[in-house]
Structure 1
Amino acid sequence: MTLGRRAFLLIFPVVLAGYLVAAVSVYIAQGNSILALERARLTQRLDHAAALFRNEVSQSRSFLYSLLEGNAVRLFVSEADVTYRSNALALRLQQSIRSLSDDPKKFIAFAVINPDLTPGYYFENSEDPFAELSAPQIQLARRLVSGSQLRDWTFLHQDRARPLIVYSEFIDPVTFARPVPSAKRTALLVQVAIEPTQFLEMQKALQQEYGTELQFDTTPTVQPDNRLAASIRLAPSLFATLSVDADRDVGYMSHLKVLLGLGALAMSLFSVGLMFVLIRRFITDPISALDLQVTAVMSGHNETIKETAGGGEIARLTGNIRQLHDQSRTALHQVQRASWTDTLTGISNRAHFNLVAAGIVEDTQARDGHCALLFIDIDNFKFVNDKYGHEVGDDLLKTLAMRIDAAVRSITARRAMPEAVLARLSGDEFAVLLQSKPGDGTTREICAAIIALFSSGFEVRGKHYPVTASIGVAICPDDANDLAELISNADAAMYQAKTNGKNRSSRFSRALQDKRDRIRQIQEELRGIDADEQFHLVYMPIVDARGRVTGCEALLRWISPTLGNVTPDEFVPIAESSGLFTKIDWWVINRAMGEHWRLKELFGPETVLAINISSAELYSKSISDYFCDCLDRHGLEAKFIEIELTETFAVKLGDQLHRNIQSLRDKGFRISIDDFGAGYTSVQQIIEYTADTIKLDRALVQNLTGEHSLPALKAVIALCHAQNMAVVGEGVDTTRKMAMLTEAGCDHFQGYLISKPLNLTDLASWAIHNATVTAGEIAQTHVPARRAGATKLL
């Protein structure tokens, strides 16, 4: 985040908060003023409504007195002839009522109510010819008759009835004057009801404007000060109150709120913008300019930092940074030179090589060029280092680096090529990166020159040492598109050169890539494998000299739905190196023990089950516990289970591993050393082996089953017998090998001459068909029977 943006994000919230506080204060002050103004306006309008209401009341009283002063009402009341009164006098009274009305459309009703509360006369100027005295008016008449008042006016405003101002007065039917209170029960009650049109229009306008109903009550309603409300007196015991809801917008308060909010935001932006311009002009721009100079110096585009014009802190800071840069640049060059140089050989180290080589590879890709990486590994260097000492090894590496550098420089200089990059990547690994043209033979010539340095052993200080070089070559962009891939492919090609016999070069090829892809595919399949679906076991019989099956070796087979049939020689090393073999071993142990009863049915209850386990499993005590758990689960005895370890692993037995193996033996398990003779085993190590059985590797059997090697074979087997270990000859695929091993005293035999690995079904068929054929009978057809003597059962 830039300094200007950070300043904006820090300043803007503070300024905005200040303006918002000011806006809130203005809103509160203005809100109170607007509320007072609106309350005064509402009171004024209610006063106007009250005036209209009182005017309507006066009109109703005047209308009644005008009717009573005329003769129409008097004649109607005093006429005894009902028919004449109902026709002629009622019509004359109706005409009088109409003549007194200023507005013919205005609702006016006149009623004469008898002392028994029956209507004596009723008229209203409405369109209803069957209009009758309304229920509210009758209730009003009943209340007046039972009360003490002789005169009254009332505002009838029920929800479903027509709002009316009713003026009522009692009159004596004879004197037509106001009766004395004692004669009230014989007096007539006359009523004039007027609809207060103007007041109702005013009421409707107020209700629409403020969104609330006008309430009528006998006392004024007290409202809080922060609410818009007002009450007006319409009569001594009648008050009208209008109270606006608290959430209703009054006097454009919401508009004021929006305007104040927008104003606060606009003022904040303007203020921050102005401050930002000033800060940028006098603070951030000079700092940014200094930052650009420092960045340019750090990236190598500039060498120095220019001084800033003017004074102040930023100018002083620029000067100090410039001085610091000048001081640190010298130290940096010294540190870089030391950090990029291999301390032993004086050439580039891995870090410097990665930095320079990455740039060369990127440039090669950009210009469609060509470069080659030579990955050099010194063969047998560890042997020299261990035998002659580290000082000799260091001298060898320094001399080698100097000679490789000289050979590469001479070739590149003669061919007028860019200077090659030579580096020591690790202990005895070197790399050379060449920028050559395709097909010009430079890479081949340099590889030959480097290998020629080892033509008759590598000479250092007058002594020759038996080291050679294996070189792997990878080309960019043919074999790789980036440095990491280029190094990886060259490394793979180097191992191919070692496999092909060392002291040679090998070019990375599609076959190597396919092999790496195959390994990667096997690793991915093993990680997600369903062992029960894809794994199965086959068993290879082990027989004694008489041909009797004494045991079977459980061998794992894998048929992958994706990869097809994958041999153990291919997937077992990959599983072990990837740390995936634990679950495979545990599956094999459990499945083999679960099928052991089938082997006992075929070959007898003392048939031994041999199980191969990964060497790395013995580093953990959990494998011992798992063997015991499987014994209990399948009801087996430990003495009939033989655990096979490779001979190369047994050579490296340490104290902890020896204790783990001894723990298995103490629990009754048999220990077998497999592939004996495939590694580097000394006589002392044979003596120290803690095993029950030694299995001679097929290559050793092949070498020792000739006539001239028979004494050596007898000596090896005798040594094993002396250590109280039974001997199994592996790879018995001819009758001659069977006979020679028998002659040498071998106890047990295993190989294709006897049987290839079979599943349980085929093994049962083999057991039936070979019940009468014994290994001893095969051997007797070639050599005499072996000497008598006790042999150990497998």
Structure 2
Amino acid sequence: MFRSIKAPIGFIVSMSLLVIVVTVLLFAASESKRLYQDNIKTQSDFFSETIAQLIFPLVNEGTWDNVPIENALSTLSYRENLIAVRIYSPDYSRVVQLNGRESERLQESFFQELDPKNVPVGVVDDCQIVVTHYPIGSPAFVRGYVQVYTDVRAPVGSNFFSLVFYVFSPVFIVFVITLIVCLLAVNKLLKPLGALSAFTKQVTQAKDYTLRHKYTKRDEIGGLTHNINRLLETIEVELLINQEQNQALMDQQEIMTRLANYDSLTGLPNRQFVFDSMKLELARAKRNGDDVALLFFDLDGFKGINDSLGHETGDLILVEVASRVSMLLREGDLVARLGGDEFLVVPDRESNDASLHNLATRLIHAFAEPFELRGLSLTVGVSAGIAKAKDAEYDLSELMSNADLAMYRSKAKGRGSYTVFTPDMVESHKRKLHLANAIEKGLANNEFSVYYQIKINQRGQVIGMEALLRWNHPEYGMVMPSEFIPIAEQGGRISSITHWIINKVCQDLPELKQWVGRKFRVSVNLSVHDLRNSNLFDNIYAIFKRHDTNPEYMEFEVTETAYLENFANSNKFFKRLSNMGCAIALDDFGTGYSSLSYLTQISIDTLKIDKQFVREIEQSERSRLVTGSIIDLAKRLSLQVCAEGIENEAQWEYLSEHGCDSVQGFLFSKPVPIDDLMSVPLCFPRRVLDMDFLGV
């Protein structure tokens, strides 16, 4: 109703003053009326007494002469406000009546019902009439009575209007002046409140909570001002806290977003980010009928460096890889780290086959230059696979799988290359998956079998054999270890295979003893995955105990790369085997990247020369020098030497002349089942080999 507090306060003040003025006027009128009535009553009493004295001489005892009385009273008829004068005899019989100016009131019911004997004396308020009753004569001898009726209605009303007329103007002036003064005072009192209200509006509009209102008086408004300022201080502090918290939340959200979408090590987009982007890009390409390509690659040799030099060095290489690849890309290309040493390049959508091949070539060549880190020159290669969306029917999961297949095909080709996905790779991949899922079942169904390849000493005598595994798959036929062993290692099933072959060799050992008839050893290969199994020694010991196997008939072969991957644990494991009586052979010696200083620290009995050196003995002087150096080194370390891959007598003769303790190869026998092994000769005199017994 009111928009300002001034209006209701002004209204209240005005009404209060008006009530006061009206009250004063009414009180004044009431007092004026009372005073006037008292005055008229006094005058009427005096007038009655005067009349009684005037007519007393005219009243004879017991007789009334009306004429002289009327003549005497006639002079009084013009008295102001007089209604009537009545003269009564002692028995209240009316003798004379003089009507005055207000005689018309005699028609009122008051006079019609009036009993002169019981007439009310004084002011009759109901009728506004003053009645006086006065005896004629002395109280002891009353000759009659005088009753005077005086009107007070008209004079009181006239007096009221006169009072109002003369009093209202100054009262009204005083009222107006007082009202103005009050309103000015109210306005002055409320001015600080208005200023405070304007200040709060300013704060609301500006949203500046650092503002403060100045008011020094210590009244209610001062208290309110102080409270508002304190409230603003509280709001300011809370806003600062909220701003800091919001900023912290925004920073945290930015960090979380970056962590969720970017690799913390290299700063490249991560798997989540690139997959989300690829989903959108594949949907767009599918709508428009376009194609999208991606290049998936990982690092060749990174694992060995990471394991031998530590993860910190590996992380530095990954950072350098990210930097080197980023510099190769064009504007619009995207590179992301998927995890570990796996990276993904998404070329610009305008890329064609030629640009993809060019990108892959430049990527491979970029890693020809070694990384210089901490004084070391480290070479890391790249194997890449290229896949296209149309071949995967725009399915991201299938597209990534195709690129992964192509990349592993590059690794199979010898690394440092790239391969473009073709649909026939899927069938090869399905074969691998089928084989991986069939290993456990094959072990349970005895689909695997052990083939033995004999080892010959310098005198041509059988001194041992290597146990090699074969898988006669019911669907794929004979599957070689070169195919299913990597699959088993990747699928985490190599431990089951190793456990099976050791158990099978221990079962065959009594028959082998009977066939050889003298001391020999059966070699079983262990992979790097086997050495990671902390329960391997306990499993071997349990198998030996179950079959009552003499450990002196067993030899375990391991590559130098596998041995040195975790040197401390491997050394501890092989020392336990040696203490139990088993022999240890270091397989494929010379093909790894290890330092020869390790030979003085590892627990081995035999060095095995890889067949790649044996194969080139006749043609390559360098191979002959390397082979001779290995034999000489082994002799100096009091180690036995075994060469594998012997295919002709010249190789055998050269190795024997240079002190090689034992050999194995197709010259003597290919790997055969134990039943066929029984027909292989136990002695092979040099230059008198009977090829009918070789099985080749």
TM-score, normalised to structure 2, is 0.56
* Match 1:359 to one of 270, 274, 280: 280
Once residues 495 and 764 of structure 1 are traced to their aligned partners in structure 2, the CA distance between those partners, rounded to angstroms, is 41
Does the residue aligned with 1:766 lie in a helix, a strand or coil? coil
Match of 2:469 among 552, 556, 569: 556
Is the CA contact (8 Å cut-off) linking 1:497 and 1:506 kept in structure 2? yes
Distance 1:422 1:677 in 2: 37
Which residue type is aligned with residue 296 of structure 2? F
Match of 1:760 in 2: 674
Matches within 5 A, 1:713-728: 713-728=627-642
Match of 2:655 in 1: 741
Distance 1:621 1:445, change over 3 A: closer
Partner residue, 2:328: 404
Give the C-alpha shift of residue 506 in structure 1.
Answer: 2.0
Aligned to 2:345: 432
| Residues 679 and 515 of structure 1: CA distance in aligned 2, closer, same or farther (over 3 Å) | farther
- Give the residue type in structure 2 aligned to 1:360: E
Residue aligning to 2:459? 546
- The 1:586/1:372 distance shift into structure 2, 3 A limit, reads same
- 1:104-124 Cα offsets, whole Å, 9 max, x none, are xxxxxxxxxxxxxxxxxxxxx
1:311-366 CA distance string (max 9 Å, x none): xxxxxxxxxxxx99xx7997698457644345666653333212211221233334
Q: 1:749 to 1:562 in 2, by over 3 A?
A: same
Bigger CA drift: 645-654 or 519-528?
645-654
Counterpart-to-counterpart distance in 1, 2:383 and 2:399: 17
What is the match of residue 604 of structure 2?
Answer: 691
Q: How does 1:162-173 map to 2 (within 5 A)?
A: none
One-letter code aligned to 1:557: R
Q: What is the letter of the counterpart of residue 604 of structure 2? A: A
Q: Does 1:581 align with 2:494?
A: yes
Would you say the 8 A contact 2:463–2:520 is kept in 1?
yes
In the alignment, which residue of structure 2 is the partner of 1:497? 410
Question: Of the candidates 666, 685, 689, which is equivalent to residue 774 of structure 1?
Answer: 685
Is 1:373 equivalent to 2:297 in the alignment? no
Unaligned runs of 5+ in 2: 1-241, 691-696
2:489 counterpart letter in structure 1: E
* Matched residue SS, 1:528: helix
* Structure 2 residue 482 is the aligned partner of structure 1 residue 569: yes
Aligned to 1:731: 645
Q: How far does the alpha carbon of each residue in 1:500-536 deviate from its partner, in whole angstroms, 9 at most, with x for none?
A: 4555432112343233222111111113224453122
User: Bigger radius of gyration, 1 or 2?
Assistant: 2
Contact 1:540 1:554 in 2 (8 A): yes
- Paired residue for 1:604? 517
State the one-letter code of the partner of 2:423. R
- The code of the aligned residue for 2:685 comes to T
C-alpha deviation, 1:673, in angstroms: 2.0
Deviates more, 1:541-550 or 1:585-594: 585-594
Mapped to 2, the partners of 1:544 and 1:522 lie a distance apart of 38
Q: Would the alpha carbon gap of residues 335 and 705 (structure 1) be closer, same or farther in structure 2, given more than 3 Å must change?
A: same
Range that drifts further, 327-336 or 500-509? 327-336
Q: Is the 1:554–1:610 Cα contact (8 Å) retained in structure 2?
A: yes
2:435 aligned to which of 518, 522, 527: 522
CA-CA distance at 1:765 after TM superposition: 1.9
Report the secondary structure of 2:394's partner residue: coil
Aligned-partner Cα distance in 2 for 1:393–1:618: 27
* 1:24-78 residue CA offsets vs partner (Å, 9 max, x unmatched): xxxxxxxxxxxxxxxxxxxxxxxxxxxxxxxxxxxxxxxxxxxxxxxxxxxxxxx
Deviation at 1:666, TM superposition (A): 1.3
Mapped partners of 1:609, 1:384: distance in 2: 33
Written as runs of structure 1 = structure 2, the 5 A alignment for 1:101-116 is: none
1:693 is aligned with what amino acid?
Answer: T
8 Å CA contact 1:357–1:421 kept in 2: the answer is: no
Q: Secondary structure at the match of 2:670?
A: coil
Distance 1:453 1:695, change over 3 A: closer
SS at match of 2:593: coil
Compared with structure 1, are the counterparts of its residues 708 and 521 closer, same or farther at alpha carbon in structure 2 (3 Å cutoff)? same
| Superposed displacement of residue 573, structure 1 | 2.0
Q: CA deviation at 1:583?
A: 2.6
Change (3 A) 1:610 1:355: same
Find the residue that maps to 2:614 and give its secondary structure. helix
Output the CA distance in 2 between the equivalents of 1:502 and 1:632.
44
Q: Secondary structure at the match of 2:519?
A: coil
Deviation of 1:616 after TM superposition, in Å, equals: 3.2
Distance 2:359 2:256 in 1: 29
SS in structure 2 opposite 1:526?
Answer: helix
What amino acid sits opposite 1:580 in the alignment? R
Structure 1 residue 685, shift from structure 2 partner: 1.5
What CA distance in whole angstroms lies between the structure 2 residues aligned with 1:749 and 1:397?
44
RMSD: 3.9
Partners in 1 of 2:540 and 2:633 — Cα distance?
30
Equivalent residue, structure 1, for 2:269: 348
Pair 614,715 (structure 1): closer, same or farther in 2 beyond 3 Å:
closer
How far apart, in 1, do the equivalents of 2:499 and 2:551 lie?
16
Q: Distance in 2 between matches of 1:354 and 1:560?
A: 38
User: 2:567 — aligned with what?
Assistant: 654
Q: Are residues 356 and 725 of structure 1, via their aligned partners in 2, closer, same or farther at CA, if it must alter by over 3 Å?
A: same
Equivalent in the alignment of 1:55 = none
Q: CA deviation at 1:700?
A: 2.7
516-525 or 698-707, which moves further after superposition? 698-707
The match for 2:530 is 617
CA distance in 1, matches of 2:496, 2:340: 35
The answer as to whether partners of 2:381 and 2:415 remain within 8 angstroms in 1 is yes
Q: What is the Cα deviation at residue 754 of structure 1?
A: 0.8
- Trace 1:46-125 onto structure 2 (pairs within 5 A): none
- Closer/same/farther in 2, CA of residues 654 and 711 from structure 1, 3 Å limit: closer
Q: Distance in 2 between matches of 1:394 and 1:627?
A: 39
Residues 705 and 693 of structure 1, relative CA distance in 2, 3 Å threshold = farther
Give secondary structure in 2 for the equivalent of 1:491: helix
In structure 2, do the counterparts of structure 1 residues 587 and 447 end up closer, same or farther at CA, with 3 Å as the change threshold? closer
Deviates more, 1:663-672 or 1:559-568: 663-672
- What are the equivalent positions in structure 2 for 1:331-346 lying under 5 Å apart? 334-335=254-255, 338-339=258-259, 340-342=261-263
| Deviation (angstroms), 1:753 | 0.2
In the alignment, what sits opposite 1:423?
Answer: 336
Helix, strand or coil: the match of 2:677? helix
Give the counterpart letter for 1:508 in structure 2: F
Change beyond 3 A, Cα 1:508–1:774: same
Looking at structure 1, the residues matched to 378 and 546 of structure 2 have their Cα atoms a distance apart, in angstroms, of: 58
- Kept in 1: contact 2:552–2:583 (CA 8 A): yes
Report the Cα offset of residue 453 of structure 1.
5.4
Q: CA deviation at 1:548?
A: 0.9
Alignment: residue pair count: 441
Q: Is the 8 A contact 1:675 1:695 kept in 2?
A: yes
CA deviation after TM superposition for structure 1 residue 775, in Å:
3.8
Instruction: State the Cα deviation string for residues 591-648 of structure 1 (Å, max 9, x = none).
Output: 2122222222222132322222344334446443443444444444221222222332
Aligned partners of 1:479 and 1:508 also within 8 Å:
no
Sort the Cα spacing of 1:765 and 1:432 in 2 relative to 1 into closer, same or farther, 3 A.
Answer: closer
Contact 1:701 / 1:731 at 8 angstroms: preserved in 2? yes
CA deviations 1:428-472 (Å, max 9, x no partner) are 654332464796744345445555656877999xx9996665432
Tell me how far 1:680 sits from its aligned partner: 2.1
